Structure 1
Amino acid sequence: MELPNQENEMSKMLNGQVHILNQSLKFINSMSLKCALHLNIPEIIKNHCAPMTLTELITALGINKSKANCLFRLMRILINSGYFISQKISENEQGYVVAPSASFHSTKDASLIRIDVSLVAPVLQPAFVKPWDYLTKWFLNEEFCDMTPFEMAFQMSYWEYLRKEENAGRHFNESVAIDARLIGGVMIKECREIFEEIESVVDVGGGTGTASMIIANAFPNLRCINFDLEHVVDGLTSSENLVHVAGDMFQAVPPANVALLKWILHDWNDEECVKILKRCKEAVESSKEKGGRVMIIETVVNPDEKQKQVDEETRETQLLLDMLMMVLVGGKERDEKEWGQLFADAGFTRYKITPIFGFRSLIQLYP
């Protein structure tokens, strides 16, 4: 018979084994979701307009019936991850529906978006996974202090890789556009008063102009400038109140009442962020009396002692993104203290944080 303390130690060891295995195998959730999206399972089930049986799903997918049990197991892990729900149809039959928590898969609001392959694919590419094999070597070797694990793996920066690898660049641009549609939709609702009071806004690092177009369409009297590198904006079509301008945000930013930075600063180290913020400050400085400000949409990570202020999934998402930025580009997700130091170093006098973008917040900076 085991003594009580021995039983307790054994229980701890077994629980520890479960925890380590669970964490080690979590990539399977991501890869299973990727498979479901490639198979178009969410749309197939939604369009069925009723709980869909496994047999009906197999028929709709055109999958060999010998793989029925495998599809059942795929759906089981996706149900466990919260993407689908199994509903009882009859005494011996269950049907699948898309879970309310995964309702992003379809929406009638055109300013919002679906979570689809374009959003998931970039973070599941080999280019995102390979650098993690270099993380240990990166930590232990001083010669790699000026490189990221990504640069160690591919001998080029992440940005150079996106320009060189057409498919990766396309996935990246699609995912940025998807996020911009979501953020743009929230902004025109939550920031309406700001946009109605100003005359111009410049979207710094605005990519192909998705968010700028949403803002321009919602506020026809607002002059919108989509500002990014030449190869990004080249060939984009302007409209009556939207222009695309090429340039380098480290050198100068077009003047406007508001400079908008959507998920840009987490890509850069502190010194680079201060440079960008100074250029944005110069762009809005002359508009102090007209509501001039810099609007930043970024993660604000809660310190450990305040982590209970956000739900567990939100905080974990913030911390996972922080590690991703470290490995890919040498950037980071910041807490309020770190943000405050950057703002002070860039010469701003005050700021306001409003958590209205899920795991991200709106930060308003005043020159």
Structure 2
Amino acid sequence: MAFVHGEQQAVPSDEDMVGAFALLYHHAFSYIKTMALKCAVELGIPDAIHGRGGAATLAEIANDAGVHESRLPDLRCLMKLLTTSGIFRATAADGGEVASYGLTVASSLVVGPRSLSNMVRFDSGPVSLTPFFDMPTWLRTAPAPEPETPKSLFELTHGRSRWDPANDDNDTMNVAAFAESQLLIEAVLGGHRDVFHGLTSLVDVGGGQGSFAKAIAAAFPGIKCTIMDLPHVVDDAPVAGGDVQFVAGDMFESIPTADAVLLKYVLHCWDDNNCAKILKHCKDAIPARDAGGKVVITEMVLGSGPHRDTKVAETEEMHSLFLTCISGVGREEHEWKKIFRDAGFNDYKITPVMGPISVIEVYP
């Protein structure tokens, strides 16, 4: 037995120590998995495998990705890590050597027209990563009222907000957001169309270029869709037509009336009080529940997704910590419930649609 601060504590077994060292090293070296995935995406390795019918040898990958022949051992090491971590799969030859590499469901998400490759580049790029080096300083710094005080960890590091046009990765961020949005649209309209049944009008608040609203209007010709965003966003928006229109506005002031209000990835950017303010304006814009009124929210609900395991839980918490970098908030169901109640809503329904992302229908 060992004594820690006067308390008797069992000495860890050899097996426990092996597991503890492995866990500690895994955390310390986890950034290497991130950089390995980013490297594979930038080399075009998933596309190379896809282009060869779903399986490729190491030499074929090297040739298609432009890897120098002297770097084959390094490429093999890269592929071994990404295979072990589930990004690729390996087929062994008779002697046990790897004969070829193939795509998994995960790596298939970074090839083709729906590719999330820019999401990988954005999330693992220096603009996103460097603020976390300043996290100890941020956590030790008390908020101050002065205007020059950084409002987020991101601002502490970069001297500007995440949404500032001067950020080097804004183009990558926009393309990544669009690709992820397309996957969400397909997931919602593919398996959860009942969310929009019975509606005759909908306002997509903060809808940007209007991709979600346009997809809803195409899938449900009877729904008139309005995309509301800030004036400078609407000014740059493409020309709408048919049952789709753009309207400039501010969700903190008012929202156009409709059967339903859509908030896609909006509320995680705001604290609880501001979320309640936004939702109160949503409530003012929709009819009573028996007349079809509701707010449709797409957000991550921590702890609510299906097929939940340690990897899913860890992913949710990593995303939640990432949001803190821009003063965003990841929330569990009870935290969402409190916001809905504070905004004057009576009921809600959560439906997981894509991993940890859910559709939340909130009723007055």
1:95 aligned partner = 100
**Partner amino acid, structure 1, of 2:21:** Q
Q: Is the 8 A contact 2:306 2:352 kept in 1?
A: no
Structure 1 distance, partners of 2:40, 2:16, is 36
Q: Is the 8 A contact 1:207 1:233 kept in 2?
A: yes
* 1:222-276 per-position Cα deviation (integer Å, ceiling 9, x unaligned): 2111222222232322121211222211111222111111121111111111111
> Shift of residue 114 of structure 1?
2.2
Q: Is the 8 A contact 2:122 2:172 kept in 1?
A: yes
Change (3 A) 1:8 1:333: closer
Of 163, 166, 178, which residue of structure 2 is paired with 1:164? 166
More helix by share: 1
Change (3 A) 1:287 1:106: farther
Gaps of 5+ in 1: none
Q: Is the 8 A contact 2:116 2:176 kept in 1?
A: no
Q: Is the 8 A contact 2:46 2:108 kept in 1?
A: no
* 1:326-361 per-position Cα deviation (integer Å, ceiling 9, x unaligned): 122x22111111111101110111111122232021
Q: Percent of pairs identical after alignment?
A: 31
Structure 2 distance, partners of 1:252, 1:353, is 26
Q: Is the 8 A contact 1:307 1:315 kept in 2?
A: no
* 1:297-336 per-position Cα deviation (integer Å, ceiling 9, x unaligned): 112223xxx99972222211111111111122x2211111
Structure 2 distance, partners of 1:138, 1:292, is 42
Answer yes or no: is 1:272 the counterpart of 2:238.
Answer: no
Gaps of 5+ in 2: 1-8
Structure 1 distance, partners of 2:69, 2:144, is 52
Change (3 A) 1:348 1:148: same
Of 326, 336, 350, which residue of structure 1 is paired with 2:333? 336
Structure 2 distance, partners of 1:100, 1:336, is 28
Of 5, 18, 25, which residue of structure 2 is paired with 1:21? 25
1:214 aligned partner = 215
Question: What aligned pairs does 1:83-232 form with structure 2 within 5 A after superposition?
Answer: 83-89=87-93, 91=95, 94-106=99-111, 113-116=114-117, 118-143=118-143, 147-159=151-163, 161=164, 163-165=165-167, 167-232=168-233
**Partner amino acid, structure 2, of 1:22:** H
Structure 1 distance, partners of 2:111, 2:138, is 41
Residues 39-48 or 216-225, more deviating? 216-225
**Partner amino acid, structure 2, of 1:280:** C
Change (3 A) 1:45 1:103: same
Structure 2 distance, partners of 1:71, 1:119, is 23
Task: Provide the TM-score with structure 1 as the length reference.
Answer: 0.88
Answer yes or no: is 1:366 the counterpart of 2:363.
Answer: yes
**Partner amino acid, structure 2, of 1:123:** D
Of 311, 317, 320, which residue of structure 1 is paired with 2:318? 320
Task: Provide the TM-score with structure 2 as the length reference.
Answer: 0.88
**Partner amino acid, structure 1, of 2:272:** D
Structure 1 distance, partners of 2:306, 2:355, is 15
**Partner amino acid, structure 1, of 2:86:** G
Structure 2 distance, partners of 1:51, 1:86, is 9
> Shift of residue 213 of structure 1?
2.0
Q: Is the 8 A contact 1:223 1:242 kept in 2?
A: yes
> Root-mean-square deviation (CA), in Å?
2.5
Change (3 A) 1:22 1:187: same
Structure 2 distance, partners of 1:300, 1:100, is 23
Q: Is the 8 A contact 2:306 2:355 kept in 1?
A: no
Change (3 A) 1:169 1:51: closer
> Shift of residue 289 of structure 1?
4.3
**How many aligned residue pairs are there?**
350
* 1:281-307 per-position Cα deviation (integer Å, ceiling 9, x unaligned): 1121x36443110011112223xxx99
